[in-house]
Structures are given as C-alpha cells and as structure tokens.
Amino acid sequence: MNQPQTDLAPRPTDLDREGTAMLLHEALARSRQQEAVEAARRYALARPLAAGRTWSRIARFAARRAASARAAAGTAPLD
C-alpha cells in the first residue's frame, strides 16, 4: 500500500533580512513596496525645489507687472 510519489515542485522561497522564508510573491510585494517608499522619498525631496522655482517665477512676474503699472501711473520705483 505504498502511495505513489507526486512530482510537485516545491514552492520557491526567499529569505528576508531576518532569515525568515517567504514565498516568491511576498518577496516581490515587499520589493515593490520598498521601491514605492523610495520613489515617495525622492518626490518629497524634489517637491520643495519645484515649489521654490514656481514661487520665484511668480515673484518675477509680479515685480515686472508692478514696475509696468508704476511706469504707466508715472510714479517712482520703490527701490
């Protein structure tokens, strides 16, 4: 009454930093999450720089417009 041996391949496993075995899809999900966190970190670093450029551009526009308005009104510049 021997049972026939099945040729089922073992599930692929990977070891994480703690040495715990995880399934391949879990390892891929963790990798994707780490990539998403890193992308968010890079975005958070770049966002203030982009905002600073935007506000600088707006300030230059406002200064030009104010100078134009002063010239049209015939008043002296504020400098």
The residue segments making up the domain with residue 62 are: 47-72
The total number of structural domains in the chain stands at: 1
* Confidence (pTM): 0.45
Is 51 inside any structural domain?
Answer: yes
Q: What is the pLDDT of residue 15?
A: 64
Q: What is the pLDDT of residues 5-57, one digit of tens each?
A: 666 666 666 666 666 666 888 889 999 999 999 999 999 999 998 999 999 99
The answer to whether residue 58 sits within a structural domain is: yes
The answer to the question of residue 30 being in a domain is no
- Residue 18's pLDDT is 62
Contacts with 22 (C-beta within 8 Å, 6 or more apart), sequence order: 13, 14, 15, 16, 30
Assigned domain for 66 exists: yes
Assess if residue 20 is contained within a domain. Answer: no
d(CA 25, CA 9): 16
pLDDT on residue 22: 66
Question: What's the Cα-to-Cα distance from 27 to each of 22, 24, 36, rounded to whole Å?
Answer: 7, 5, 14
Q: For residue 22, which phi and psi values (nearest 5 degrees)? A: -135, 160
